[in-house]
Structures are given as structure tokens and as C-alpha cells.
Amino acid sequence: MVTLKTASSNSIKGDFRIKQMGWLIMVLFVSVSVMTLTGCSKPEEPAVLAPLEGEINDLATDFIAALVAEDFEAASGYFDAEMLKAIPTDKLEDLWEQLLSQVGPYQNEIGRKQETSEGYEVIIATVKFEKSPLNIRMVFNDDHRISGLFFQPAEEAAVETPAYEVPNYAAPERIEEREIVIGEGDWALPGTLTLPAGEQGSGQEWPLVVLVHGSGPNDRDETIGPNKPFKDLALGLASEGVAVLRYDKRTLVHGQKLMAEVPELTVQEETIEDALLAVDLAMAMPEVDASRVYVLGHSLGGMLAPRIGVQSNGLAGLIIMAGAARPLEELMLEQMTYLAGIDGDVTDYETANLKEVKEHVARIQDPKLDPKTPQSQLLGVPAAYWLDLQGYKPAEVAKTLDLKMLILQGERDYQVTMADFELWKTALSGRNGVMLETFPELNHLMMTGSGSSAVGTLSTPEEYNVAGHVSVEVIQAILEFVN
């Protein structure tokens, strides 16, 4: 039978800080946050645009100066052919205006570094805006033109980001961690195995949870500003006898390579393949009880958990944490509409932006969507990605699985809402081994928050500027389910 629980409103309170990250796969997170992959592939016709003269570092400085001066014609002049297709001048202007609406006016650059990634030269400028510091990550090709552009939370700005503190429900003396690798060859990913301490070599076999990220090029801790929700989960669960495996996401470790070699990217390459490899690795570990391996998917990871369950053999169950049950494009439009009205004033720019988003969503939902449709007409995401998800109903797929399931939802989550939870509840009603639990005070990261916006009582981006931890109630719910 289904167990439906609503946590007490007297949850343990704390101060929490979130900076929601998003990849262009979910354009809603362009508004919610400040991490956008706008393009990252080598130009198909490199002879079309002449190489730029000068040092890459100087070109990066000039590009940022053009953005700040709102000279978007000059700024787009630094792009390669593929970037110009994906983000013509007017789109670059829209992106910059939307960014400033979230983080406030540009103030100054406070740091810079250069690195090489997948054969590309990358300049990362840490820039201070009024509300939040960002890293502007510029990927340059051999012609010294920009072939990739990211706006990311600035972890380098230590003065702005407090150091991570271990949650009070974790006991570091009762855990052990070691580095592992998911997969092999070109797509290998570094990760961490967190185990209960003291029993290795004694034949003890622990239950284990594999953590699957939300959207965006997330690290193994799902770091968002000063918050590390996956690290919270790993430390909290391992302290109580449940091992955890987590890893850096493919779009983080191999971002440029992925865009160059997998132009028709889908969630299979972005998320599912590596989750399956992680499950297989976990089941082969001598410290792990192979019959008690679970997948915990957060956000996009929760949405894809049923597909992981379909493709995996021997899973004990799924834990779906703030998992979307509705189509991504619907959530994008819903979130952007919510954010536009969050201050009680929908500007002309926001109205026009929402109108354009609705047009993109209509194309995405067209059953006759042409695979060759430019991603600039599909919320910046390749048609292959949308075609792969067309018709996918996570809750209905979950209903077909003979697996234990735990569905967790924060009632103040504006990114994946109670409407999604109701779909999970309806689809799984009457199923044995299914537990559903909601938490009145928790937001998308299962962290406590308070306050309201002009349009309701859901969480707001401003609330995400306080550091904290995954609620102990969530840890307890997972322990109860696994054990």
C-alpha cells in the first residue's frame, strides 16, 4: 500500500544559501540562476570567419567590455560561426539583459585564470555584480574565436562564499571516503565512495545509494554556491550505516568534448549512461550489498530515475527527490512566468520574453518537430534532446517498475512543484513498497526556507543566498526507506 506522509511544520530550522545552477538544457534556470551553456562546438566552416588577432586574454577582456558597454554587435564579433548561429546579436542582448535582471548591474572584475580543456583554451573571469559574483567562462578555438560561453556561480570568490560546514547530523568519525572512477576511457568520471567506518574487511556489506544530479554541469557534491546537497546526503547517510556513491557529471568533466562529439545530445548521454555505470560499479564492490543498491535522483535526475530503473538490472529501488513529472518545457515556461511576476511587476521585457518562450515551447511540443530545427528556435537545446523526451511520462513509467520507491517533495519548491508530486501520487496509488512524503518548509534543494513573493508562498531566488544543509527530516526519511 502507499504510505503518504506530510512532515510536521515544526521542522528543524537553519540558515541556508542556494544558488540554483542550470545548463541550457533547462533554459528556465537561465532566469533562476546564472549558468548557461550557449554553445561549445567547433565551427563547421572555420574559413567563413577570419581568425582574430591578439592574445586570448586580451580578447576576453575586450569581449567583456563590449558586454558591459551593451555593444552587442561588437561582442558577437568575437564568436565563431556556430556561436553566431546559436546566439545572434539580438539573442546575446536578451541573454545579457536577463542575466542583469537576476544579478544586478556589473561592478568590476575581481579575478581571472586561464586553463586548457579538451584542446580548447579557456579564460575564466570572476566578475562582481551587485547581487552575486559570477564566473564568465569563455572557450576559445584555434582561431581565437569564442566557441563556448558560460555564466557560472563564482566559487572562486571566497570572500563571498562561506566554507562548507559539516551538518550537525553527520559524524565524520563514523565514515570513510575514497576516490573512485565511473566508466573508463574518454568519458571516465571521478567520484567519491562514502562508507560507514570500522567494518571493512569484516565481511560487512552495506546498502548503497547512487546519487544522480539535477540539470547542469554539476560536480559530485551538486555544489550550488556554498551548498553541497549531495555531500550532505553522503555524510548524513553514511553516518547511519548507508553507503553513498557520487560522481562529477559528464557535462562538467567533458563539456567541450561532449558538445563537439555528440551534437545530438540526449539525456541518455547526459545522465543515464553514467548512472547505470555507477550502479554496476557499486554492485561489484565487496563492501556493498548488491541486493540493496538504490538510485536517488534529484530534480532532472529524479525525472529520469524511472528510465534508469528500466535499463538497470537488480536495483532495489528508486528515491525521487524533487523529481519533475511533467515535460521539461512546461516547467520552463511555468518557472519563467513565476519569476517574471515574483516582484509583482511584469516588465515589458519580461512579457516579450515569455511570449517568445511560449513560441519555443509550441515548437518543442509539435508531434512533427523536425530533427533539423535549429536549437536557437528550441530554447537553445538540440532538437534531438526534445525528441528523445517527447511522450515521456516519468510517473507512468515508474508505475510499470517492480521496485520500491520513495518520493520526496518540498512544498515550497517553485522549480518542481506539488503539481508534480500529485502526478507521482496518482500514478503510484495502490502500489506496495511506495512511500510519498512532503515537507512544508523545504525548497528545491530540500533545505529549509521561509518568506513569500508577490505571487505566492513558494520559495524565491533571494532565499537561495543563505547557506545551509539538506533537512535532517529528509535524511531520516531515506534511512527509514532503505532500512
Active site residues: 299, 413, 444
* Coil/strand/helix, residue 164: coil
- Nearest-CA neighbor of 445 among 279, 270, 233? 233
Pair type for strands 189-196 and 175-182: antiparallel
Spatial separation of the C-alpha atoms in residues 193 and 22, rounded to whole Å: 25
Residue 175's DSSP bridge partners are 196
Quickly count helices (H) and strands (E) in the chain. 17, 13
Q: Cα-flanking dihedrals φ and ψ of residue 13, to 5°? A: -95, 155
- Amino acid identity, residue 65? A
Asked if 307 contacts 267 with a C-beta cutoff of 8 angstroms, the reply is yes
At 348, list the grid cell.
515589458
Spatial separation of the C-alpha atoms in residues 300 and 322, rounded to whole Å: 9
For residue 23, give every residue at least 6 positions away whose Cβ sits within 8 Å of its Cβ, in sequence order, or none.
Answer: 29, 35, 36, 37, 215, 216, 217, 251
CA dist 250 to 171, 187, 192, 218, 270, Å?
30, 7, 15, 9, 6
Spatial separation of the C-alpha atoms in residues 275 and 319, rounded to whole Å: 13
Neighbours of 415 (CB within 10 A): 26
Asked if 37 contacts 217 with a C-beta cutoff of 8 angstroms, the reply is yes
